[in-house]
Amino acid sequence: MQNNHIDILIKMGLSLNEAKVYLALLRKKISQVGEIATLSGVPQKMIYYVLQKLMSKGMCSLVPGKVKKYKPTEPGIGIGNFIKKAQNQIDSSKNMLDQLEKQYEIGQNETSSMECIEIIQNTTNVAQRVLSLERLSTEEVLSFNKPPYAMMDRNIEELHGLKRGTRYRSIYQIEEAKTLISMSVMEMYQQSGEEVRIAKSLPMKMMIFDSRILMFAHEECLAQSENFTAVIIQRSSIINALKELFELYWSQSMTVEKFREEYKDSISPEKHIMSK
């Protein structure tokens, strides 16, 4: 337990010796230097320096007298000051994050005559960018949903988006939908508000955000997670063309209910995880 306290005090900004001396001080109401050295295990020749540092941090005080004695500041004040400072730093960081998110959103919404193309690599980076784009989407998110998947966990941003009124429409492939786990994932999103269709096959892996941002997977770079490559295009006529392609597939795809009815004998219990 004592070692845990020392580790925490060090993370709060104390040195190892300062942590040891402060904990030693807490064991008595008032202590002489020799007692502090014995209880803390810190060499007596270093004690005065350490005590001076603790006094400057408001964690102990000197008791006047012929023999120097020291009194610990009660933890609620001594350690509480560190906690208050840390909380202020957290609050400041959150405020900065809110401001930067707003600045980022304004930048994303700025119009430009130039097309914007980005290339993102690595599964983790792609997944984080998808979440970011979903967070900024307010109207509709369209998806050709086929493997491999950048996210293995439930897409919390989609669930938040559905709650705030963003429309989600996703088309999955029959082969992936034939497993019970995949079916349960699709039905979970459907129950949350996602509109779901199932197609025999899909020509590509893509998402369209609010009819203005397209993300699609580079098919030749999907074999390994570190090679997972996605392309993002903004403000391009290709987005409208691919949205029309999505609508064509949507009109020709079947509902989950119809799929369950037609393929009930083909659904396998194989453990296959499907996300986004």
225-238: pLDDT as tens digits: 457 889 999 888 89
DSSP 8-state class, residue 276:
-
User: What CATH number is associated with residue 8?
Assistant: 1.10.10.10
Containing structural domain, residue 69? 2-74
Looking at every residue in the chain, the average pLDDT score rounds to: 85
What does DSSP say about strands 140-145 and 116-121: parallel, antiparallel, or unpaired? unpaired
- Among the three residues 44, 74, 104, which one is the final residue of a domain in this structure? 74
Domain count, the chain: 2
136 with 257, same domain: the answer is yes
Q: Is residue 275 part of a domain?
A: no
Tell me if 226 is assigned to some domain: yes
**Cα separation, 38 vs 40, whole angstroms:** 6
| Whether residues 48 and 143 fall in one domain | no
Same domain (yes/no): 188, 133: yes
- CA 99, CA 223: separation in Å to the nearest integer? 38
Average of per-residue pLDDT across 85-92? 87
Mean pLDDT over residues 161-179, rounded? 90
Tokens coding 80: 């509480």
The tens digit of pLDDT for each residue in 123-164 reads: 888 888 999 999 999 999 999 998 877 766 667 889 899 999
The contacts of residue 187 (CB under 8 Å, 6+ apart) are: 256
Q: Among 19, 46, 74, where does a domain finish?
A: 74
